[in-house]
Structure formats: structure tokens, C-alpha cells
Amino acid sequence: MPKRIGFISTRFQGIDGVSLETSKWVSVLESIGYECYFFSGLSDWRKERSMVVPEAFFNHPEIKQLHSECYGKSTRSTALTQKIQQFRKYFKKHIYDFIRNYKIDLLIVENALTIPINIPLGLAITEVIAETGIFTIAHHHDFVWERQRFIVNSVTDYITMAFPPRLPSVLHVVINTAACQALSHRCGISSLIIPNVFDYSAPIPGIDDYNRGLRKSFGLKDSDIFFLQPTRIIARKGIEHAIELVSRLKDDRIKILISHQERDEGTQYYERVISYANLLNVNVIIKPELVGSERGKTDDGRKVYSLTDIYLHADFITYPSTYEGFGNAFLETVYYKKPFLVNRYAIYQQDIEPLGFQAVVMDTYITDEDVENVRAVLADEKKRQNMVDNNFKIASRNFSYKVLERQLKILLPDGLS
């Protein structure tokens, strides 16, 4: 069995879903004897084990410009093709250096062979795999056909080649049943399903001296009811539903905090959310500079709180996404034993809901019944406790690190036999 695994992605930084899920795989793999190394365009992970090539990040200015030229039109210029090929060669050299310098035995590619937001990086990874035959796990989170903005493009040839690639040494892993079915139907590629996980065996942290003043840092009073929207501000997160819910609850004590980076996919939806909140007179708090993957300090000396700190203080979680690959925020909410509202997005209906989780469940839009159900949960402590305890038990059985460890132990030897 190989002992050195090389993870490749566009970024390993912050609290986005791919970075969070990768860190869980790293934790489990290191616990069973592997050494893990990292290639990305942006990273705040272990420097001694990381190779950072800034252009691998999808928001690098040159890559972002290249990306904008690839979509919204059906043909591309010779100059664009040349630019893509130049970056492909550039990335390919660095990937070979990464494999050689760290003596990598096995690659795990996190979403960089899935969603075409850095096309030359995906092409480079695919060519390296084809030329070396190195055993690779392509861990897929978001496919191209799941994003409307990629439908019209001038790079169908590249997408077909590398997103994802059809190579004998690549084992494909998806995070839900629908992705498994779609990958087979659209690409003729078989895959294994490994859902997102969380470490439910770890003791739940509590309020301590560091995070005790969190509410004050975010402008909340002790008497306020703290709603948390633990996502980025992008359209598929359905944040307008959370704002509508707060408005219809008609309780001035309710404030809603959106935890993640506010302009991850441009500014239009962010502006729409702020405008809608102002229209409905809902108090929305957005302070991404105070939220990190770990505790720390801002440049001006203010505390940076981890997502754990924020969950601990939250009273209720809103999760009205219209689409999710699986749902890291869902798993986190269950771990921290918080009541929540969830939209019945397709993967929730197919892979999560049948297991028996208890929540306030909306279906496409907020109804009077949904509002009353949230109000009832907030008012009844016993009801809340029963809900969160039940959810924790179900998640521990189905989405724990132990489940992931069993799957990886089977997966790796079979792939190398």
C-alpha cells in the first residue's frame, strides 16, 4: 500500500465545503498510517507539506479572465486556445515536481477534475495521470451539468477530456446517489458513493473564555435569538427564504448571521440578499473577517472565531438551499445539536430524509405552517432536545469518521491490487 498521498485542488483554505471535506479525509487517512501532501493555488495548510502554485486558484486574476472567455459563447479564439495550452504546460511541470519532490504514491484530486473552473489545471492533471498511470481517486463534489452557468461554453472538448477523465488508473468517488447515476448515464463512468462525514465521536466543545463574548463581537444582545445561515452567499443557498422566515416570525429579537465569505461568486446575489433584507426590515449580520477555519486575530487585533464557536452560540440554523452536493452545513448542525429548517433539495430527499432526521422541512417555499413549526420549536425546549438527540444518533450511525475509515480501508487496497 502507498504511504504518501498527494491531494490536489484549486484551494485548501478557509471553510468552503471542499476544503472542509478534504480535511476530514486527511484526518482519517493519517490515522491509518498515510502521509498527506497538498498541491493547490491557495493554502493555509501545513507549509512543509504543501506546494502552492497561485495560478491553480480559480480566482487568480489570469485564470478568472481565462474562465470568463470560455463561457457564454460557443466558439473560442486561437489566442484563447494557446493561452489554455500555455497554462496546461505550466501546471503539468509543477504537478510532476510535486509528485517527484514529495515522492507521491497516490493522488486524490478534490473537485479539480469535476467542475471546470480552472480548465488548464484539469487538463494538466489528466495528462499527468495518463502519462504516469499513477493510481488516482477523483473525489467529485460538483459536476459541470449541475451548474447552469456552464451550459453555454466554447470548451466542450476540454470538458469531455478532463471533467472528469476516463482513464484506467482513476477511481471515481461521488458524494450522493444522484451524482453516481448521472456520471454513469452521461459519461459511462462507474463510481463509488462516499457521503460527506463528520467526527461524531469527538466531544462537543462548550462555551469558554475565548468565545464567551462572541455575541457582542457580532452586535448581538444576550436576549437576542441568534439564527445562523452557515453558508456562502450564493444563489443556490436560497438565503432569501431564511430572510423571509425571520420576517414572518415577527420577533424583533431574531437576528440572522451569514457565516461565510460574502462574494464567493460575484456580487449580484449578495446585493440582492442585502436589498431583500432591507425591504423586509430583517437584521442580517455579515462579518466574514471575524469567521475562520481556526481561531485567530484580524489585522486590527479583533478576535477571529471558528465556525465551531459560532455554532455553539446559535439558537436556530437556517438551511434553505435549493441544491447541495450533499450538505456539510447539515452535518455540522446535527453535530452541534441545533434545531434547523431545511429545504427539501433533491439530495436531501434521496439520501438523507429517509434515514429519519427531524427538522422543520420546507418544500420550495416558506408556508404559514413552516413559520408556525419554527415558532413551536423555539418555544418548546423539550421538543428541541428530542429532535437534536435523535438527529445526532442517526448521523453517528451513517455519516461518522468510522464509516469513512471503513470505506477507505476497502477502497485503497482494492484499487491497488
Helix (H, G, I), strand (E, B) or coil at 52: strand
Indicate whether 415 pLDDT > 70.
Answer: no
- From the list 291, 283, 284, 274, the residue with the least C-alpha distance to 214 is 291
CATH label, 4-197+401-416, candidates 3.60.15.10, 3.40.50.2000, 3.30.930.10, 3.40.50.2300:
3.40.50.2000
With a cut of 60, say whether residue 270 has pLDDT above it. Answer: yes
Which pLDDT score, from 0 to 100, does residue 158 have? 97
Question: Which residues are CB-neighbours of 239 under 8 A, at least 6 positions away?
Answer: 229, 231, 233, 258, 273, 320
Beta pairing class for 296-297 and 303-306: antiparallel
- List CB contacts of 268: < 8 A, sequence separation 6 or more: none
Collect all residues with Cβ–Cβ distance below 8 Å to 43 and sequence separation of at least 6: 11, 12, 13, 50, 52
- CATH 3.40.50.2000: does it fit domain 214-398? yes
Q: Which of 272, 287, 199 is nearest to 235 (CA)?
A: 272
Does pTM top 0.75 for this prediction?
A: yes
- In this predicted structure, the answer to whether residue 103 has a pLDDT above a threshold of 50 is yes
pLDDT at 376: 96
Grid cell in block for residue 267: 456580487
Cα–Cα nearest to 137, from 164, 159, 100: 164
Mean pLDDT of 367-377: 97
| Per-residue pLDDT band at 317 (split at 50, 70, 90) | very high
Question: Which band of pLDDT confidence, cut at 50, 70 and 90, is reported for residue 264?
Answer: low
Output the CA angle 353-355-359, nearest 5 degrees. Answer: 50
pLDDT in tens, 107-120: 999 999 999 999 99
Whether residue 320 has a cis bond before it, omega within 30° of 0: no
Residue 181 bridge partners (DSSP): none
pLDDT tens by residue, 11-50: 998 778 888 899 999 999 999 989 999 999 999 898 999 9
Rounded CA separation 112/10 (Å)? 6
Contacts of 23 (CB under 8 A, 6+ apart): none
* Pairwise CA distance, residues 288 & 286, whole Å: 6
The 3-state DSSP class for residue 258 equals strand
Cα 37 to chain centroid, rounded: 20
Cβ distance 17 to 141 under 8 Å? yes
Residue 416 has pLDDT above 50, yes or no: no
For residues 155-166, average pLDDT: 96
Dihedral Cα 129, 131, 133, 139, nearest 10 deg: 10
**DSSP symbol at 248:** H
Mean pLDDT of the chain: 93
DSSP-derived 3-state class of residue 228: strand
- The ranges of the chain annotated as CATH 3.40.50.2000 are 4-197+401-416, 214-398
What are the residues facing 400 on neighbouring strands?
Answer: 198
pLDDT of residue 280: 96
Helix 368-379 × helix 239-249 angle, to 10°: 70
